[in-house]
Structure 1
Amino acid sequence: MVKRNSGTSKEDICQNQFTAYVVLAVKRKRQAYIKKKVRDKENQAKREEEQSNFGAEENTVWDRLEVQNEELVAAVQQLKPKARFIVTGYVLKGKTFKELAQETKLTERAAASTYYRSIEKLRIKIEKEK
Structure 2
Amino acid sequence: MYKKNNGSTEQEILQNQFSAYVKKAVHNRRIQFLTEKSRKFRFETPLFDLDYLLFDTTDIIQEITDHETVRQALRSIKENERRIVLERIIEEKSFGQLSDELGMSYKTVASLYYRAIKKLRRFMEEGESK
Q: TM-score, normalised by structure 2?
A: 0.50
Aligned-partner residue type, residue 114 of structure 1: L
Counterpart of 2:83 in structure 1 is 85
Structure 1 residues 63 and 118: alpha-carbon distance in aligned structure 2, compared to 1, 3 A threshold: closer
User: Contact 2:62 / 2:71 at 8 angstroms: preserved in 1?
Assistant: no
Output one character per residue of 1:93-116: Cα deviation in whole Å (capped at 9) or x when no partner: 111111111111111111011100
Distance of aligned partners of 1:64 and 1:93 in 2 relative to their CA distance in 1, 3 Å threshold: farther
Q: Are 2:98 and 1:114 aligned?
A: no
Matched residue, 1:18:
none
- Tell me how far apart the structure 1 counterparts of residues 56 and 94 of structure 2 sit (CA, whole Å): 16
1:105 aligns with 103
Q: Which runs of 4+ in 1 moved over 6 A?
A: none
Q: Secondary structure at the match of 2:70?
A: helix
Tell me which amino acid in the other structure corresponds to 1:125: F
Alpha-carbon shift at residue 64 of structure 1 (Å):
7.4
Where does the alignment leave 5 or more consecutive residues of structure 1 unmatched? Answer: 1-56
- SS of the aligned residue for 1:119 comes to helix
How many residue pairs get aligned? The number is: 74
Task: Using structure 1 for the length normalisation, give the TM-score.
Answer: 0.50
- Structure 2 residue runs of 5 or longer lacking an equivalent are 1-54
1:76 is matched by which residue type in structure 2? L
- Decide which structure has the larger Cα Rg and report it: 1
Write 1 or 2 for the structure with the bigger share of helix. 1
CA change 1:60–1:129 in 2 (3 A) is closer
Going from structure 1 to structure 2, the CA distance change for 1:80 and 1:117 (only over 3 Å counts) comes to same
Contact 1:86 1:100 in 2 (8 A): yes
Q: Aligned equivalents of 1:117 and 1:61: distance in 2?
A: 23
* AA aligned opposite 2:77: L
User: Is the CA contact 2:81–2:112 (under 8 Å) kept in the aligned structure 1?
Assistant: yes
Give the distance between the partners of 2:105 and 2:89, measured in 1 at CA: 19
